[in-house]
């Protein structure tokens, strides 16, 4: 070996040793008085960084971060019912930080901490009127936003009525752009009175509680990546810190959506994150987050109107070759593809005479490599090789009771397409071989349907504007779905019915799996290679995993409040199961990594040295 080779080899060893030395492991204990607290969320963010890492304390009150770069960190811990505890840590000098929590004594501060699930669980349902109005609020208000946002405030009956005056005419995103929602109009006085009793100037609530994370839930580690907010169309990016409430301090309540640009998300083959942007802005159609540095890059497709704004996007999916597919609306809603390696974007509009993409667009890739996307009256299939679209339409898009757009869409392993009509509680199936479509009707939510009086049912059956935003009280509300690519099963999240629908893709047989709590609202579904069903509990600040073989739900708590996450993506290529989801109201991209007992044992050994 030459002297040059020896020097190069020595330099490489020193560089490797230095790199390992640069990463330090932070650990500590969480307590309240003399009591050690389990399941407490502990977060750390390096000063000047845009990446926050969060873990949970174990049964002994101890927490263990994965190795992090040496530097100065802000560290904080919080749990429901406790004040946030803060510390500053320099990992170059200190690798251990204990934190003590103090009980919150102010009832309104405790209330503002609550995720939407506990807000809903805490609303009164002592009478038939309570149960009825609570369901109307659940279906007609929670369909668009988390309940913890409006209910963190108090209004008298007139105040709540004025809010309903606005909300009952919101359609495509602007106030007063549609006739008043008939069900809200019908129930406005009763609902205003109910909300004033629950959240009026003199109201008092009995706050419901839920257990803190334990077991598998407490082994999860989160990394949240800040994405800059925007001022609006024609404006540039703003630092993420410009938000008065960024969701990290639960006691400040659920944050506003102002300036957010993230909507759906996916991970590329290199482990980097991509997101779609559904809000009007001049910067981004799809964005990329480098998971190592946190750097955010924007890719823009210009709108055709010459405004300089970016074409908005909604759904996204990854194909077997690593390409990312999304819907994009430069003027006519089309299908887009980005190559993560080059960043190049191609746009594929549907041909003249065929409907464009539409509805609440979800994009999926089936087992044969075909791309499926929502369309207003059904679903579209795109063949990437022939660059051809095929259209499949609902059998009953318009009905005497109203009109329903497609919500979710998916493709199964056999090449069939699926879509949801949320307002009608129906699932459409497209057979590309025969060109035929089938309608599968979900069972009604009997818990509500049988509770109402015959007169109330009759009144609702006379409504003529039933839609995604104006459903029957007994609706299941099928939203965004996912197929098991290793089995013949479609899973659908029923947002209003607090359930999953399991559909056999061969026989079309339906079974309903209820969630453990009726306040749980699933949104989007992704099935992993082990048949586990993953989804967002979008009003709960939690994700869930459902193991069909064991009939067991496991929930995972977000480290921030007011997430309202609407999309989930499971990656199993990075050596561990990683769950990717946009954190909607906080304008962040999140990755949750599952850690095993063995992983935690290794961290404990390192911390003990």
Please name which of 401, 348, 397 lies closest in space to residue 373, comparing C-alpha atoms. 348
pLDDT of 4 = 39
Please check whether residues 306 and 437 belong to one and the same domain.
Answer: yes
CB contact set of 298 (below 8 Å; sequence gap of 6+): 283, 284, 285, 286, 287, 288, 310
pLDDT at residue 551, as a whole number? 97
Rounded distance between C-alpha atoms, residue 204 and residue 190, angstroms: 19
Answer yes or no: is 99 within a domain.
no
Q: What CATH number is associated with residue 291?
A: 2.130.10.10
Do residues 352 and 237 both lie within one domain?
yes
Percent of the residues in the chain that have a pLDDT greater than 70, as a whole number: 93
- How many structural domains are present in the chain? 2
Mean pLDDT score of the chain? 91
Q: Compute the residue count for the chain.
A: 609
What pLDDT does 396 receive? 80
In a domain, 365, yes or no: yes
pLDDT of residue 5: 40
Residues 413 and 292 in one domain: yes
451 and 391 within one domain: yes
Question: Does 240 lie in the same domain as 184?
Answer: no
What's the CA angle centered on 572, arms 568 and 578, to 5 degrees?
50
Q: Do both 324 and 186 map to the same domain?
A: no
Question: Are the beta carbons of 533 and 549 closer than 8 angstroms?
Answer: no
In a domain, 484, yes or no: yes
Q: What is the pLDDT of residue 14?
A: 33
Domain coverage including residue 150? 108-199
Instruction: Show which of 182, 199, 216 is a domain's final residue.
Output: 199
The string of pLDDT tens digits covering residues 336-364 is: 999 999 999 999 999 999 999 998 899 99
Contact 481, 430 (CB under 8 A): no
Q: Judge if pTM exceeds 0.95.
A: no
On whether both 140 and 254 belong to a single domain, the answer is no
Helix/strand/coil for 446: helix
Residue 165 inside a domain? The answer is yes
Domain boundary among 177, 199, 221: 199
Note whether 407 and 526 are same-domain residues: yes
pLDDT at site 470: 87
Taking only the tens place, the pLDDT of each residue in 378-406 is 999 999 999 999 999 998 878 889 887 89
pLDDT of residue 242: 52
485 lies in some domain: yes
Cα separation, 341 vs 326, in Å, equals 16
Strand-strand pairing, 68-69 and 237-238: unpaired
* Any domain includes 80: no
The ranges of the chain with pLDDT < 70 are: 1-22, 171-177, 231-243
Regarding whether 177 and 307 lie in a shared domain, the answer is: no
Q: Can you list the pairs that 68-74 forms with residues at least 24 positions away whose Cβ atoms lie under 8 Å?
A: 68/23, 68/24, 68/25, 68/26, 68/44, 69/22, 69/23, 69/24, 70/21, 70/22, 70/23, 70/24, 71/46, 71/47, 72/46, 72/47, 73/26, 73/44, 73/45, 73/46, 73/47, 74/44, 74/45, 74/47
What are 411-442's pLDDT values in tens digits?
A: 999 999 999 999 999 999 999 999 999 999 99
Q: Mapping DSSP to helix (H, G, I), strand (E, B) and coil, where does residue 157 land?
A: helix
What counts of helices (H) and strands (E) characterise the chain? Answer: 10, 42
Neighbours of 120 (CB within 10 A): 26
Q: Is 336 inside any structural domain?
A: yes
Task: Give me the pLDDT at residue 260, please.
Answer: 85
Q: Is residue 127 part of a domain?
A: yes
Q: What is the CA radius of gyration of the chain?
A: 25
Same domain, yes or no, for 176 and 270? no
Report CA-CA distances (Å) from 406 to 17, 37, 100, 375, 608: 55, 45, 49, 6, 55
Do 195 and 249 lie in a common domain?
no
User: Do 178 and 268 fall into the same domain?
Assistant: no
User: Strand pairing of 398-399 and 402-403?
Assistant: antiparallel
């Amino acid at each position: 070996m030459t002297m040059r080779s020896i020097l190069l080899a020595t330099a490489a060893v020193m560089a490797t040793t230095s790199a390992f030395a640069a990463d330090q492991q932070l650990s500590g204990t969480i307590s309240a008085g003399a009591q050690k607290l389990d399941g407490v969320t502990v977060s750390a963010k390096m000063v000047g960084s845009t990446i926050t890492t969060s873990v949970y304390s174990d049964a002994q009150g101890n927490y263990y971060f994965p190795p992090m770069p040496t530097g100065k960190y802000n560290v904080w811990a919080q749990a429901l019912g406790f004040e946030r505890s803060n510390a500053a840590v320099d990992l170059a000098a200190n690798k251990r930080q204990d934190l003590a929590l103090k009980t919150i004594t102010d009832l309104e501060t405790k209330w503002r901490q609550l995720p939407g699930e506990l807000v809903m669980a805490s609303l009164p349902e002592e009478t038939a009127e309570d149960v009825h109005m609570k369901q109307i609020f659940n279906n007609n208000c929670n369909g668009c936003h988390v309940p913890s946002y409006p209910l963190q405030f108090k209004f008298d009956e007139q105040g709540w009525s004025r809010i309903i005056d606005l909300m009952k005419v919101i359609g495509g995103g602007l106030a007063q752009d549609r006739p008043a929602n008939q069900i809200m109009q019908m129930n406005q006085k009763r609902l205003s009175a109910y909300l004033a009793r629950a959240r009026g100037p003199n109201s008092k609530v009995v706050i419901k509680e839920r257990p803190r994370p334990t077991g598998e839930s407490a082994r999860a580690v989160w990394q949240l990546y800040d994405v800059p907010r925007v001022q609006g169309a024609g404006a540039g990016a703003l630092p993420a810190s410009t938000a008065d409430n960024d969701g990290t301090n639960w006691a400040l309540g659920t944050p506003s959506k102002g300036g957010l640009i993230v909507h759906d998300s996916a991970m590329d083959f290199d482990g980097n994150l991509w997101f779609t942007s559904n809000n009007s802005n001049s910067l981004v159609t799809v964005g990329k987050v480098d998971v190592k540095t946190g750097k955010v890059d924007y890719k823009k497709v210009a709108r055709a109107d010459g405004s300089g704004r970016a074409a908005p996007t909604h759904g996204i999916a990854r194909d077997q070759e690593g390409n990312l597919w999304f819907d994009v609306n430069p003027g006519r809603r089309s299908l887009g593809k980005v190559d993560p390696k080059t960043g190049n974007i191609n746009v594929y509009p549907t041909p003249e005479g065929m409907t464009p993409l539409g509805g609440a667009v979800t994009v999926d890739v089936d087992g044969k490599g075909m791309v499926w996307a929502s369309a207003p009256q059904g679903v579209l299939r795109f063949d990437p090789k022939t660059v051809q679209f095929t259209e499949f339409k609902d059998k009953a898009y318009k009905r005497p009771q109203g009109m329903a757009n497609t919500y979710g869409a998916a493709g199964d392993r056999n090449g069939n397409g699926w879509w949801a009509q949320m307002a009608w509680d129906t699932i459409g199936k497209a057979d590309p071989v025969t060109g035929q479509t089938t309608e599968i009707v979900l069972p009604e939510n009997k818990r509500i349907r049988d509770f109402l009086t015959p007169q109330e049912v009759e009144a609702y059956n006379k409504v003529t504007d039933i839609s995604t935003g104006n459903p029957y009280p007994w609706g299941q509300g099928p939203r965004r779905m996912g197929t098991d690519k290793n089995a013949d099963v479609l899973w659908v999240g029923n947002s209003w019915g607090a359930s999953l629908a399991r559909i056999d893709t061969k026989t079309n047989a339906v079974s309903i799996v209820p969630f453990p709590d009726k306040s749980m609202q699933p949104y989007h579904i992704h099935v992993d290679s082990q048949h586990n069903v993953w989804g967002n509990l979008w009003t709960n600040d939690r994700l869930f995993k459902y193991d069909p073989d064991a009939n067991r739900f496991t929930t995972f708590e977000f480290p921030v409040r007011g997430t309202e996450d609407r999309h989930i993506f499971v990656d199993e290529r990075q050596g561990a199961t990683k769950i990717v989801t946009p954190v909607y109201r906080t304008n962040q991209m999140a990755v949750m990594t599952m850690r095993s007992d063995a992983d935690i044992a290794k961290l404990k050994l390192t911390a003990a040295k």
